[in-house]
């Protein structure tokens, strides 16, 4: 099945306890598309960059089978830029700089040939823009997943709730789930959020794994304990890319396949943090991915006799 990812394509400048980068390629849609490319070959990308965006990166997308017809290049603008510094625990970070640039006032355009995308991933963006993008489809995609962040809960909660009411699956982190629901207990938060619309909810807990909720069903997917985490940037997006990539590949929305999607998402996120930026996501082999998934099987499996 084909997957359309809509979201930011960006420059990041990152500092972690392990070092710092110059301006490198980042952005939610970048991480999601690259990751999903290991699962489905029908990958469409909608986003915008400025004249400063390197042609080599667009070539990399294409080499990964990502269709970039929907990647607008604003010759008069500069690419969205984010700079951040992670604390020693790698779980919290300070934003040092954000320059919206071409994302300011951006309204995604949906190329005609993307209309039949069966899976839609709305990466973290202004909720009203996510909503407008969803409304551009003549026929609603089969599975719509959305990622968001605390900022939009602070400044655009009504818009966020409006788009959340129309999606199939929401993916947010634990503190965002608490903020969106007003419930501290994640089990209660999940009920409250699913009552807002999405039948399926993924609550990401970073190094502590992720929870999948659907109706009364819950699945817990661990994170792989790693020797070193170099850079957590993009881990959540790689999770989303692995998750929806697996679903698009298999076209199976059963709960047991959603569980597998969680494991693939967590496996892909575990690669992402091993290097700075997108580096680790550029040249993964099938064997590396299946070996990593087997590590999750080893990590999580037990039998009650």
Please give the residue ranges that form the binding site for its own copies (CB under 8 A). 88-89, 184-188, 205, 208-209, 211, 217-222, 225-229, 256, 259-260, 262-263, 293-294, 297-305
Whose Cβ is closer to its own copies: residue 132's or residue 300's? 300
Q: How far is the CB of 160 from its own copies (least distance, A)?
A: 24
Comparing CB distances to its own copies, the nearer of 127 and 242 is 242
Considering the complex, state which of residue 163 and residue 247 has its C-beta at the smaller distance from its own copies. Answer: 247
- Phi and psi (nearest 5°) for 26? -145, -155
CB of 216 to its own copies, least distance (A): 10
Shortest Å distance, C-beta 268 to its own copies = 14
State in angstroms the smallest separation of the CB of 276 from its own copies: 17
Q: How far is the CB of 61 from its own copies (least distance, A)?
A: 28
Q: For its own copies, which is the closer residue by CB, 137 or 219?
A: 219
Nearer to its own copies, 25 or 229 (CB): 229
Rounded Cα gap, residues 207 and 213, in angstroms: 19
């Amino acid at each position: 099945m084909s997957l359309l990812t809509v979201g930011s394509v960006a420059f990041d400048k990152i500092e972690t306890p392990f070092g710092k980068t110059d301006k490198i390629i980042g952005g939610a849609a970048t991480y999601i598309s690259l990751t999903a490319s290991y699962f489905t070959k029908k990958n469409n990308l909608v986003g915008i960059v400025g004249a400063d965006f390197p042609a080599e990166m667009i070539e990399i997308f294409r080499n990964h089978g990502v269709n970039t017809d929907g990647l607008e290049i604003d010759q008069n603008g500069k690419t969205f830029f984010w700079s951040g510094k992670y604390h020693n625990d790698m779980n919290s970070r300070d934003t040092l700089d954000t320059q919206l640039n071409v994302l300011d006032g951006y309204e995604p355009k949906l190329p005609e040939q993307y209309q039949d995308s069966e899976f839609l991933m709305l990466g973290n963006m202004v909720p009203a823009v996510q909503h407008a993008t969803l409304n551009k489809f003549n026929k609603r995609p089969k599975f719509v997943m959305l990622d968001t962040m605390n900022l939009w809960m602070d400044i655009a909660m009504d818009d966020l709730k409006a788009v959340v009411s129309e999606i199939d699956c929401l993916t947010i982190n634990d503190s965002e789930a608490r903020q969106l629901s007003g419930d501290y207990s994640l089990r209660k938060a999940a009920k409250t959020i699913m009552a807002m619309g999405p039948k399926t909810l993924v609550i990401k807990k970073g190094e502590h794994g992720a929870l999948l909720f659907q109706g009364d069903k819950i699945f817990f997917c661990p994170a792989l304990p790693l020797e070193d985490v170099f850079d957590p940037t993009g881990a959540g997006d790689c999770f989303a890319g692995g998750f929806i990539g697996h679903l698009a590949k298999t076209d199976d929305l059963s709960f047991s396949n959603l569980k597998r999607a969680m494991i693939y998402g967590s496996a892909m996120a575990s690669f992402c943090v091993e290097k700075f930026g997108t580096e680790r996501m550029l040249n993964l082999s099938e064997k590396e991915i299946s070996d990593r998934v087997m590590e999750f099987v080893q990590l999580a499996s037990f039998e009650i006799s």
